[in-house]
Structure 1
Amino acid sequence: MPATGMAKGYWDSPVQINEVEPKDRICFAMYTVQGRTMKMMVQFYPLKKNESRQVYLEVEKNGKWQPIATGEIRENYYTKGSEFEAQAWNLLFRIDHWDHSKDFNYRVMALDGVAKYNGIIRKDPVDKEEIVVAAFTGNSRHDKATRMEMVDLVKKQNPDLLFFSGDQVYHHQHHLHEWLIFGSEFGELTRNTPAVSITDDHDVGQGNLWGANGKKSSRHGGADGGYLQTAQYVNEVQFAQTANLPDPFDPTPIEQGIGVYYTSLNIGGVDFAIIEDRKFKSAPLQIFPDSKGRRPDHPQGVKPEKLNSSKAAMLGKRQLKFLEVWGNDWRGVDMKCVLSQSIFCHGHTSQKMDLDTNGWPQHGRNKAIKAIRKSFSFMLAGDQHLATVIQHGVDEFGDAGYSFSVPSIVNHYPRVWKPKKKALRKVGPLPRGGDFLDGFHNKITMHRYANPDENVPPIVTRKKQTKQATGHGIVRFNKKTRKITMECWPRGADFKRGDSEQYPGWPMTVSQMDNYGRKAKAYLPTIKVTGMENPIVQLIAEASGETVYTLRIKGDTFRPKVFADGKYTLIVGDQGKNEKKLQGIVPSKTTSEIKVNF
């Protein structure tokens, strides 16, 4: 994300919301279902003073519409007294005891029945072998063209989940205006498909965000940490974009009363951790108050090691605790994935060191990567204005998991992967793939990248946005094979032409087990399970009591790898229902076997 150098005319310009007919006042809706709780955010266009604020939610049962909830439209101001004075014009429906075993047609009714909005709340796709996610980022209005060609392509790809990783809105003063534009286009997807939307810096009204636990920022560019907009503005943005998410793991607000939303969502047996990698992150001037220059986030003449402060936070203690609890819980789960705003490295070469990336702080980045790999979790994000597939490393190259940073919808600030040095080890089909130290000397293995104007696929009808390496990502989680396939689709791609339309190097497939690529020092005896298919296995180091990793194995046989000598405890079974604990297990140099019978 650029921002501080961009023209003020775009970020802060006055806007005009077009008036729509009363029958069209419901702009769009987004929903999720977690467990037996369905939450739906409904966004309206501004209403007139004499128009009803009552809203009704109905579902179709046995061919008849039945009311299940009523609510009143929220009219909270984003920032009372500002020149914009936009209001929220939305509401949240929450239905507990939802039947997630079947599809339901629904409709939202407003303005005494004049305004109607229809869609489908899908059943949990637990019976599907493959769970499909469509992922998006960076919806800048620098390109005012419609997004409907992208929407039409995604409809054909028929995802089970939509993920908007941030920067759905770029206007820094009038979120409502661009949120309505976003909804008028992508609402054609969200009306029928569960959606996760998380806020990034531009959404909350600033070019870069180091949330610093919610403090107030007083410096243009935000490098002192915290939020430039009022807490009221930030909370209204978060309500609009995230109110439909499952309840947060820990709802305790941060400073200024700013809310949090980090949580998890299970779609058909694929468990998604939804985190906020900006909100608790330390800022450059908090850690290096003597930094000089207009852009302290782009330090010059400093060795990366000097920037590696153990005082600087990335996810913060609260989210690391969440990842620990979430990573250990595999009830009803076959595979896991972490959804974040950005990937955990400096995944481009457009700046030598960019403290806005999650390559910094290195200490906090490594804590996050170590926590995530314990659950063999894949990582999906956006933000970088550059599509990449990277395997992350902490102590060694490739000792952690894979990330897919999807291309921007609009790439007005293109970045590239063009390292000056050759790879320490060449990998993959692209010329600049391999092992590298990123700008902060984090270990990364670059497998795929889509440079603007370079890796452009042979599309018959080229558009400017295609040459800027724009588009969206698709991720396919195959629960039977435990394979993860990444697809990278340009805007304007022809679905009928198949994979040849994707950016060079895609699709790419990795294994679930590749997401903890750390090399084994030794192996425990092979576990042979009878009476239970695909059990959960948790490995605990007895000397420290630390959980080394947890996963649901594929099949009935598993040989646990370990990274140090010592005694281990294995907990095998179906967490909380039927499990067995094996203690004092030590590494074996032979192909010995432990039978676990249920």
Structure 2
Amino acid sequence: MTKPSVSRRSFLVDSAAATAALSALPRSGRAEDAPTSEFRSRWDLVPDRVWPGAAFWSNPLQDWRIRGGRLECFRPATGRSLHLLTHDLANRSGTLRMSVQLGSIDGGPLAEASGSAGFEVGVRGPLGDYRNNLVHGSGFPAGLRTNGRLFLGDGPEAVSAPVDLNAEAVELRLAIDPEGNGFHLTLSALDPTDGRVLGSVERSGVPGASLVGNLALMSNFGPPRPAAQQANNANLPPAGTWWFADWTVSGSKVDAHDDRRFGPILFNQYTLHGGTMKMSVQMPPLGPEDEHSIRLLVDRDGSWTQVAEATIDPRSFLATFRVEGWDDQINIPYRISYVEKFTDGSGREDTFEGLIRRDPVEADVLTVADISCNAHYAFPNEACVASVAKLDPDLIVFTGDQFYESTGGFGVERNDVDIALLDLMRKWYQHGWTWRDVTRDRPSIAIPDDHDVYHGNLWGEGGKKAPGNTSEAESKGGYKQMAEFVNVVHAIETAHHPDSPAEPGLQGITGYYGPLTYGGIGFAILADRQYKSGPDGKVPPTTSGRADHVVDPDFDPETADRPGLELLGDPQLRFLEAWADDWQGVEMKAAISQTIFTAMATHHGQPDNRLIADYDTNAWPQTPRDEAVRALRRAFAFHLAGDQHLPAVVHYGIDEHRDAGVAFASPAVNNLYPRWFWPESPGENRPSGAPKELGDFRDSFDHPLTVLACANPKPDRRPGVGVLEAETDKSAGFGVVRFHKADRTITVECWPLLADPTEPGTQFPGWPVTVSQLDNGGARVAQADLPEVVVRGVDRPVVRVIDESINEPVYGIRLTGSRWRPFTFAEGVYTIRVVDPESGRSAEQRGVEARKGNDATIEITL
């Protein structure tokens, strides 16, 4: 993948000629053009490729293509559809005239072909949104079957009539006209060579409710299923391969929405770190005759100036810009520009605009949205996106499971890498389409979790290959998908991250952990699945039938803490420790990872499914877990995560309760797999009147655990409720973490999916939760004090405490002033080192005694 690096000098060069050339290109088909209710496909002008164009959405992406100026569905399977994004049927009386030419890809008379094809009109999903209709909708079918019948509708009310299919192609025409309180439909088939009518069928009294929504072409009517199921199920309707051409739509019942075009520029993500701006731009699957370069322009004194150009990667369809010397002190509007080429030699510029925000280093508060686990039941999740936008986060972090294997239907592909990558793209596009109006104007982080690489659970073991594609193979460790597939997932989600120190692992699988400094907060981006050991064969056998689920009430967690097991892996742990000591430009610190470092949930999937222990949690393996938590404690780092589908704020313990950091597990946006925390006994040391779920506990791997807030899903599903209400019952929602730099506190806020965050009292019960930065260092349970340190010669220095008995750092922290009394977890002798990270100056005092009630003072001058 090309990642062009642009120096400050080249960034400042005015590319006036390139800008002028771009502005001169025709802009037909853009959102600002006047919409018309008449539509005609022009696939005859589109070069050969998978992507059908910005006006269409294909289900599934990998089964459709443009070839020789025609649209083809080349997979002989049922339920394949291509939706028109820019026009739909309105909820009013009026007419529709629609036509398309079609035939069998195999050629020959249609009477000798297999399957069915035609239209589906009024396609609507449970939410009524046109994007929800694309993947969750159904409509009124109108088409032909190669058994010689035209049909309108399905079920017992369907009507059909004979049609002469001895032609190699037909033109289908659908007419819808008002009739009383309903509509009259006529479907005709004509010979496209001479206009001869080959057959027709009519139906009266079709209710208007059936004719509101999306318009689509269908290849093989029937239930949409994964291709593997289609091939192995003789009971499904016969299916064939179909081509389509010259689709036209018009009528007074048709509304035009040119602003709904999706592409060629689909969405983008960016970060700003250390004066370098990195941006990834997601494109659709392009063909060899398409343009393969894309440009980045910025608004400079009222004119658009090109600052970078990138090549679109042929596997991920991603373009990545890397611009050094970015002026991070001002807001900079940007424009992404791509020229779509057509076979007649013409072109059309597509642009996508947004804002690179200034680095808010001087702001008192940095607000970070924590978003995770979206099964896209409520795609495009407009209510959630609108609520997050109201909160106007400075940074948005997607902490894993941006999509699931089930996203958009049709299952997954595991054998053919080319098909698998296209299957991946359609799921990823649903994530990007959901969030693109948030990510275009603010930096974002996305980290892949298990479902992003088609795993129920992932123990990556540094990139090794899993011994099979089954769920049982997962617990043996490694990746089930092809290495190339995994690397594309890592690219599309993380290519815009700051540069990573991670080296490729086994099979050449890439890493992505690394630092991000933004708004005066230092973030460590972690990969807590990629290097973790798999449990099968490394821990005592379970009796549950699964190597990762322990149901034995007599389970001894010490038996699972065996030598040689990994969590973060040694290189990533070394990075985390070095990051903990680096305070340049940083006031406070936080880690971002897939899941929290404790085993909190007691019940999984179903409210009666109690687990004694779950090896998928980051409470195991215990020894490397403690090493990771100590590294976070070393930086007083808060922890943002997702994965659990159980919204919670927890305080970690290593040797005792609350002697380490605080973490937030965000709610799932759309919850595929509920979990509950139902402890057998109420928590100790909980506030008076607090629910029994709060307080001090021991998790299932015997770590001290303090629960500060928890929002359990409802145990019983309400029958008949809508999609959004059902998700709310499962504690779906969103959260933000606010870092208050002046008083060094951290506030966690958490809302149910349908809550309006601007209204008071709408958060989950128990939120917001505010903790001190010192809580992340275990200050509440300190055992001894060092002398108060008074620093001369620098304001707001970093104070580091080093245990001389083992010559290892205990922690470091940036002060808000010039004096502070450090604490320790044990009496003894320590070194106090004072550092000015920005200048590099430092001074220290060795042999300093830590004891209870220490009221001494020392001065250190830089």
Give the TM-score taking structure 1 as reference length: 0.91
Q: Where does 1:39-78 land on structure 2 (aligned, <5 Å)?
A: 39-76=278-315
- In the alignment, is the contact (CA less than 8 A) between 2:542 and 2:549 conserved in 1? no
Correspondence for 1:125 among 360, 368, 372 = 360
Q: Which residue of 2 aligns with 1:596?
A: 860
Which structure shows the bigger proportion of residues in strand conformation?
2
Q: Is the radius of gyration larger for structure 1 or structure 2? A: 2
Q: Which residue of 2 aligns with 1:4?
A: none
Give the TM-score taking structure 2 as reference length: 0.64
Q: Does 1:356 align with 2:616?
A: yes
- In the alignment, is the contact (CA less than 8 A) between 1:69 and 1:93 conserved in 2? yes
CA positional deviation for 1:157: 0.7
- In the alignment, is the contact (CA less than 8 A) between 2:379 and 2:434 conserved in 1? no
SS in structure 2 of the partner of residue 496 of structure 1: coil
Q: Could you report, residue by residue, the CA deviation over 1:240-285 in whole angstroms, capped at 9, with x for unpaired residues?
A: 0000001112x31110000001001011110100000001100011
Q: Which residue of 2 aligns with 1:197?
A: 446
Q: Does 1:185 align with 2:434?
A: yes
**Counterparts of 1:243 and 1:263, CA distance in 2:** 12
Q: Which residue of 2 aligns with 1:81?
A: none
**Counterparts of 2:515 and 2:455, CA distance in 1:** 26
Amino acid at match of 2:663: S
**Counterparts of 1:537 and 1:455, CA distance in 2:** 51
Q: Where does 1:277-426 land on structure 2 (aligned, <5 Å)?
A: 277-288=528-539, 294-301=545-552, 302-350=555-603, 351-426=611-686
Q: Could you report, residue by residue, the CA deviation over 1:468-491 in whole angstroms, capped at 9, with x for unpaired residues?
A: 111111000000010000000111
Moved more, 215-224 or 528-537: 528-537
CA positional deviation for 1:309: 1.7
CA positional deviation for 1:50: 3.5
Which ranges of structure 1 fall in alignment gaps of 5 or more residues?
1-8, 77-87
- In the alignment, is the contact (CA less than 8 A) between 2:390 and 2:758 conserved in 1? no
Q: Does 1:91 align with 2:319?
A: yes
Report the CA distance shift for 1:16/1:358 in structure 2 as closer, same or farther (over 3 A). farther
**Counterparts of 2:854 and 2:769, CA distance in 1:** 35
Correspondence for 2:847 among 584, 587, 591 = 584
- In the alignment, is the contact (CA less than 8 A) between 2:533 and 2:567 conserved in 1? yes
Q: Where does 1:188-587 land on structure 2 (aligned, <5 Å)?
A: 188-219=437-468, 220-221=470-471, 222-249=474-501, 251-288=502-539, 294-301=545-552, 302-350=555-603, 351-427=611-687, 429-453=690-714, 463-498=725-760, 500-517=761-778, 519-575=781-837, 576-587=839-850
SS in structure 2 of the partner of residue 463 of structure 1: helix
Which ranges of structure 2 fall in alignment gaps of 5 or more residues?
1-59, 61-76, 87-260, 341-347, 406-411, 414-422, 604-610, 718-722
**Counterparts of 1:344 and 1:241, CA distance in 2:** 23
Q: Could you report, residue by residue, the CA deviation over 1:540-566 in whole angstroms, capped at 9, with x for unpaired residues?
A: 122322111111022222111123333
**Counterparts of 1:18 and 1:549, CA distance in 2:** 57
Amino acid at match of 1:318: P
Larger RCO (CA under 8 A, 6+ residues apart): 1
**Counterparts of 2:600 and 2:543, CA distance in 1:** 25
**Counterparts of 1:154 and 1:321, CA distance in 2:** 35
- Percent identity, aligned pairs only? 38
**Counterparts of 1:549 and 1:27, CA distance in 2:** 44
CA positional deviation for 1:430: 2.8
Amino acid at match of 2:458: L
Q: Could you report, residue by residue, the CA deviation over 1:428-472 in whole angstroms, capped at 9, with x for unpaired residues?
A: 73332111111222210111110112799xxxx982221211111
**Counterparts of 1:349 and 1:66, CA distance in 2:** 56
Q: Could you report, residue by residue, the CA deviation over 1:88-127 in whole angstroms, capped at 9, with x for unpaired residues?
A: 2211111112111111111111125521110101111001
Report the CA distance shift for 1:427/1:316 in structure 2 as closer, same or farther (over 3 A). farther
**Counterparts of 1:32 and 1:386, CA distance in 2:** 28
Amino acid at match of 1:327: A
**Counterparts of 1:259 and 1:224, CA distance in 2:** 20
Q: How many pairs does the alignment contain? A: 570
Q: Which residue of 1 aligns with 2:276?
A: 37
Report the CA distance shift for 1:491/1:403 in structure 2 as closer, same or farther (over 3 A). same
CA positional deviation for 1:532: 2.4
Q: Which residue of 1 aligns with 2:381?
A: 147
**Counterparts of 2:371 and 2:311, CA distance in 1:** 31
Please give the root-mean-square deviation of Cα atoms over the aligned residues, in Å. 2.3
**Counterparts of 1:105 and 1:166, CA distance in 2:** 29
Report the CA distance shift for 1:521/1:289 in structure 2 as closer, same or farther (over 3 A). closer
**Counterparts of 1:31 and 1:455, CA distance in 2:** 41
- In the alignment, is the contact (CA less than 8 A) between 1:287 and 1:311 conserved in 2? no
Report the CA distance shift for 1:564/1:255 in structure 2 as closer, same or farther (over 3 A). same
Q: Which residue of 2 aligns with 1:3?
A: none
SS in structure 2 of the partner of residue 409 of structure 1: strand
Amino acid at match of 1:477: F
Report the CA distance shift for 1:246/1:284 in structure 2 as closer, same or farther (over 3 A). same
